[in-house]
Amino acid sequence: MYICKYCNNKAVINYFILREMMFGLRDEFEYVECANCNSIQIVEIPSNLAKYYPPNYLSFELKHENKLKNWLKLKRFDNSYTAKGLIGKIVKKIWWAPPIGDFLRIANIRLTDAILDVGSGEGELLFLMHQYGFSNLSGIDPFICGSKNPFKGLNFFKGSIQDVNEKYDLIMFNHSLEHVADPIKDLLKAATLLNPNKYVLIRIPVVGGYAWRTYGVNWVQLDAPRHLSIPTVTGIRELAALTGFSLDKVIYESWDFQFWGSEQFQNDIPLHDNRSLWFKSKESIFSKKQIKDYKKKAKQLNQNNDGDMACFFLRKL
């Protein structure tokens, strides 16, 4: 029986057939749309789901940057987290990145606060935060090779949030909640782990925006079958109410990927393809002007609360 993963509704209004297009397998999966909150979810979770998380899946590829690039990343993060620093400000204008530092600043997170990143992958974000000076970081992911403690104050565990018992000042779902089988169950668990008046940050694609309305089943962020569900803003609000949180703030953070990724899918070009812009291919179907226009449009959509990704600030009541 169908039950919406965000609002517990039991009625559907639409069915979709989505293809696996990150790796170009083109396997087909049935998804449905909730009649109440309009979130979407897969009808049946594949029994072989691990097949779709190979070693070259993006969150398992820990990048080893050169010293200059790493230094520039830290400067960019510093400007985002402190809203200060001229070099970081310049780098941010030239080199777009998810504004995670802004989110930490808005949530009033200190360097010593206990932070859990759920679905951390190999931990690229946590390694950056540790380099910056955060000293109490943990990541958990069911698909990593095993638990490890690469540095003091930085720990990784193989498993799910259901395996965690420590208390935290911030719990992050950085593009991971859409990958879990039961978001309600995981948010209820997060509520037991979070200190009072602290935040859960959910960074996630959102159904209903311009990209979804324009590209439909070719919207790149559908990412079947890895994205087991994708909420609307209403879906996240319902989820918060069901799990003991208030939705305090929503910040849109989409980028030009929503356009060129979806255009590639419309042209039957997977992300892992010789013609894909994902790998900065010279065989890309896009001109420099198109990409420039996509970046400008993404910025406008964020300002109009119509982007295809957002960060949700859920405060524990």
Q: Is residue 71 part of a domain?
A: yes
What is the distance of C-alpha 207 from the center of its chain? 13
What's the domain count of the chain?
1
Q: Is residue 232 part of a domain?
A: yes
Instruction: Report the phi/psi class of residue 197: left, alpha or beta, with left for phi > 0 and alpha for psi in -120 to 50.
Output: left
Query: Which residue ranges of the chain lie beneath pLDDT 70?
Result: 58-65, 88, 91, 96-97
Per the structure, the complete domain to which residue 66 belongs is given by: 12-254+310-316
- Residue entry with tokens 């969150």: 59
The amino acid occupying position 50 is A
pLDDT of residue 269: 97
Q: Is residue 5 part of a domain?
A: no
With 0-12 / 13-18 / 19 or more C-beta atoms within 10 angstroms meaning exposed / middle / buried, residue 217 is middle
pLDDT of residue 54: 86
Beta-strand relationship, 12-19 and 154-158: unpaired
Q: Is residue 208 part of a domain?
A: yes
290 and 242 Cβ atoms separated by less than 8 Å: no
Q: Is residue 3 part of a domain?
A: no
Domain of 172: which CATH number?
3.40.50.150
Q: Is residue 292 part of a domain?
A: no
Sheet with 40-42, strands from edge to edge, namely 12-19, 28-34, 40-42, 229-230
Sheet with 148-151, strands from edge to edge, namely 148-151, 154-158, 137-141, 115-118, 168-174, 194-205, 309-316, 245-252
pLDDT of residue 149: 87
pLDDT of residue 96: 67
pLDDT in tens, 50-67: 899 887 886 545 555 677
Q: Is residue 245 part of a domain?
A: yes
276 and 220 Cβ atoms separated by less than 8 Å: no
Q: Is residue 302 part of a domain?
A: no
Question: What is the C-alpha separation between 266 and 271, in angstroms, rounded?
Answer: 12
